[in-house]
Amino acid sequence: MSSLSLPGAVSSRPRTRPGKPPAEQVLKDIRRQTRRQHSAEEKIRIVLEGLRGEENISELCRREGIAASMYYGWSKEFLEAGKRRLAGDTARAATSGEVKDLRREHGLYRPTWAIRTSSTRFATPSFRRIGSKTFGDD
């Protein structure tokens, strides 16, 4: 059998114009650009709803428009962060007011010998002797 091409017949393979991306690539690019960025509050709300167990995880994900794998990733991160916080492994950032209070408190409790030695720039007597001169011992 020979294949005859009739004028006006439609080919079964898709045609692409040179320099134009295929339709699948265009759709992927559009989906990539329109991905939704969820805030931390939204993620927490969704994870907590799932942990309550009032509805199926797949139903929750369908309603929120997310993949189940995304939900389980958020859930894992949420639980691990909670464990770290309860174990005390996380450092909390101090507010500017707390920093000012700590600096003021540090100044109040600084020993007098530290004030005196910091003014001479030598902390111990062994560093006070330079050559034949002795600094700080008058």
Rounded to the nearest 5 percent, the helix, strand and coil shares of the chain are 55, 5, 40
What confidence tier does 2 reach under pLDDT thresholds 50, 70, 90?
low
pLDDT of residue 50: 96
What confidence tier does 31 reach under pLDDT thresholds 50, 70, 90?
confident
- Residue 98 CB-half CA count within 13 A: 4
pLDDT of residue 100: 84
Structural tokens at position 108: 């109040």
